[in-house]
Amino acid sequence: MRFLNKSAAMAVVLAGMASLAMPGAAQTSRDGIEGRVDRLEREMRAVQRKVFPGGAGQTVEPQITAPDRSGPAPGIPASGVVSDLTARVSALESQQSALTGQIEQNQYRLRQLEEAFTAYKRSTDARLKALEDGASTVGGNAPVTGIGTAPTTTPRPTTPRPTTPPPTTTAPVPTAPVAGIERPSTGDAAEDTYTYGFRLWQAKQYDKAIVELRSVVQKYPKHRRASYAQNLLGRALLDQNKPALAATAFFENYQKMPNGERAPDSLYYLAQALVKMKKPASEVCKVYDELTQVYGDRLSEAMKMDVATGRSASKCR
């Protein structure tokens, strides 16, 4: 009898589990979690009556009844499908809202970039004009030509006078060979002339070096060595203790060849020339500011240290 009772109990448990697994037993949202829990409790009490007959379970409720199958008719979609669709539509609406916000932010940032670029261009033009105005006064009372626009007070004559030397635009005549200094011959005339001028400058033959270097600038203005030659021309004049002429040469290199490889060096040496001319520290600091703002990413570590030293000496803020 006990064996049969256990079999019956197992049958009831299996029947309960099967009823839970059957698709028809899945109740709609109207049943709720509480109804399912109550049904499970009643079934467990029925199992206890079978396992422990005549025990404490004599006062339990009667045998369980057939489960309520008043669910929706077959073929009617469950409410979970509608919920899934609603959630997906809500997610799409949220993504569309996020994309719209990103587009508006990008448009705002683009307007900010355009305004910043316009302000930067305006400030750069103003700095260049201020630098040109400051360089036009280089040399004190001595007139400076070749900086900014052509001077209107002393126009250059169209033809040179017989008693005056030829204008500076005429290509200088190559210098005579100097003993101990070899003139290279590689087939690149601009490269060879610059190299020879550099060797003359190293040998402190400044006058002859200036002639060779000026020849490179005037004959080969599009050659990459033109920027080198114009910068070294200014340094040769600076070594001759002619800071006003050197400042003109440096500024012309920056103004006419701003993308040249020695344009940053010319701005640095322009500041050095202004110091030798005993110009106000404010003018020197303007040149240093222009150098760091225009060529900051192209300066070598050695040049950055030299600029820092120069700014400190001129007490630039």
Least confident of 146-155, 169-178, 213-222: 146-155
In angstroms, the Cα distances linking 91 to 86, 104, 248, 249, 262 are: 9, 20, 68, 67, 59
Asked if pLDDT for residue 68 goes beyond 80, the answer is no
Asked if pLDDT for residue 148 goes beyond 80, the answer is no
DSSP-derived 3-state class of residue 120: helix
pTM of this structure: 0.47
pLDDT band at 155 (very low <50, low <70, confident <90, very high): very low
What's the whole-number average pLDDT of the chain? 74
297: tokens are 């990413």
Query: Whole-angstrom Cα distance, residue 298 to residue 262?
Result: 11
High-pLDDT (> 90) share of the chain, % = 39
pLDDT value for 51:
61
Helices (H), 220-280: 225-239, 243-256, 263-276
Asked if pLDDT for residue 94 goes beyond 50, the answer is yes
Asked if pLDDT for residue 63 goes beyond 70, the answer is no
High-pLDDT (> 70) share of the chain, % = 58
Query: Whole-angstrom Cα distance, residue 43 to residue 38?
Result: 9
In angstroms, the Cα distances linking 284 to 56, 245, 273 are: 106, 16, 9
List, for residues 268-315, the tens digit of each pLDDT value: 999 999 999 999 999 999 999 999 999 988 899 999 999 999 999 999
Asked if pLDDT for residue 142 goes beyond 60, the answer is no
List, for residues 162-176, the tens digit of each pLDDT value: 333 344 444 455 566
Asked if pLDDT for residue 110 goes beyond 90, the answer is no
